[in-house]
Amino acid sequence: MQNARKISEDIWWLGASDRRIELFENVYPVPNGISYNNYLIMDEKTCLMDGVDDSVTGQFLENLEHVLNGRKLDYMVVQHMEPDHCSAIPQLVAKYPELKIVTSAQALKMINQFYRFDPTDRTIIVKEGSSLKLGKHELSFVCAPMVHWPEVLMSFDTATGTLFSADAFGAFGAIDGNLFADEVDWERDWADESRRYYVNIVGKYGVQVNAVLKKAAGLDIKMICPLHAHVWRKDFDKLLSRYSKWASYEPEVRSVAVFYGSIYGNTANAADILASKLAEKGVRNIKVFDSSKTDISEMVSRAFQYSTLVFASATYNAEVFDRMHYLLIDLKNHNLANRTVGLIENGTWAPMAAGLMQRQLETMKNMNVIEPIVRIKSGVSDENLAQLEELAEKLAESLK
């Protein structure tokens, strides 16, 4: 049975949620599932904005048929060619023989690469500034390279002020009936997952995201329709300002996030001692993460959120302990910059973790390591306690 939703005069949401999925992109845990949204504009011409993932294609095709209600599908805009929004292209082309695909030249090539058929003779190529008239509605296309793939287009319906924003402004998490962001307690239930989504998916491309935000600022936006999570019909400033912070690698929270890697618990102890000392010095909203238990995508998201980061690691086979090593690589891969950093290392015979972590931090921009580096030999000593006190003092000072 269909589950299509009318979101404005002629525009329908046709998406579906997948709650069975464990890992989005086979890497990011999605305990609350994920939604794949797409939209249908019912004007003189009918126009589908993107497709969905394989996992929900059956539901989507039912929704589409229901809303079309016997009409043919004239256009499908392919804003980017990532398979989580394109799985049904071959089926749609077979089902609607007159369907024209509207996409960028680069995406057209990718259609052939993925599906081994060449839709050139039924494709309308568009680029920045191109438009497509559907009747009352007219789509104007905006290039958004690397938000999330190189060929990304966003589409702005000038008649209604609806921005079809592709992957931008999405979040992890299934849609639980309430399709609009203003119908849920978004700050409480969605803000963290929207950051984890952004940071891990496009966090690396801050420069490109800022370029698109500039273009968006020039549009009279009334509604934002992303390919994942909620439709937005107000609070655009809140949404855009979060994106602008992340894209500029500016923290949202001036406080300390501590990440530790500990085999037997001594490094963890030092991390907790530091956190307590910070709290006693008035620092609020401190977070401590055991890197062996917390998914890297969550830690990367928190590192984008917090101004001040502490990395504490045991030495493990002359390396940084396991997931702390990968956390630092991932932070570098996402271009994290502009943070104040504290370091704690541990080792029993040849401690090396601090030096190795420092080297990883040097590959990132503007990561300011605060002295002293706390060097533990096995268990926390009196001397270490004094170092932790001094580090806490300096970190607290840096937050003032």
Ligand X SMILES: Cc1cc2nc3c(=O)[nH]c(=O)nc-3n(C[C@H](O)[C@H](O)[C@H](O)COP(=O)(O)O)c2cc1C
Which chain residues interact with ligand X by CB under 6 A? 262-268, 314-318, 346-351, 378
84 contact choice in ligand X, Fe ion, none (CB below 5 to 8 Å, kind-dependent): Fe ion
C-beta of 376: minimal distance to ligand X in Å? 7
Task: Give yes or no for residue 167 binding Fe ion (CB under 5 A).
Answer: yes
Cross-strand bridge partners of residue 125: 103
With respect to ligand X, which residue has the nearer C-beta, 322 or 389? 322
C-beta of 93: minimal distance to ligand X in Å? 55
Cα–Cα distance, 72 to 69 (Å, whole number): 9
| Alpha carbon separation from 75 to 89, 142, 159, 300 (Å, rounded) | 12, 18, 18, 39
82 contact choice in ligand X, Fe ion, none (CB below 5 to 8 Å, kind-dependent): Fe ion
Instruction: Phi first, then psi: give them for residue 40, nearest 5 degrees.
Output: -125, 125
Angle between helices 191-202 and 236-247 (to 10 degrees): 40
DSSP at 56: G
With respect to ligand X, which residue has the nearer C-beta, 5 or 323? 323
With respect to ligand X, which residue has the nearer C-beta, 4 or 376? 376
Cα–Cα distance, 53 to 56 (Å, whole number): 6
41, 61, 65: which is closest to 52 by C-alpha? 61
Tokens 């292209």 -> residue: 89
53 contact choice in ligand X, Fe ion, none (CB below 5 to 8 Å, kind-dependent): none
347 contact choice in ligand X, Fe ion, none (CB below 5 to 8 Å, kind-dependent): ligand X
Binding mask 144-163 for Fe ion (x = CB under 5 A): ----x---------------
Cα–Cα distance, 123 to 362 (Å, whole number): 47
264 contact choice in ligand X, Fe ion, none (CB below 5 to 8 Å, kind-dependent): ligand X
Of 10, 18, 74, 84, the one binding Fe ion (CB under 5 A) is 84
Which positions touch Fe ion (CB under 5 A)?
A: 82, 84, 148, 167, 227
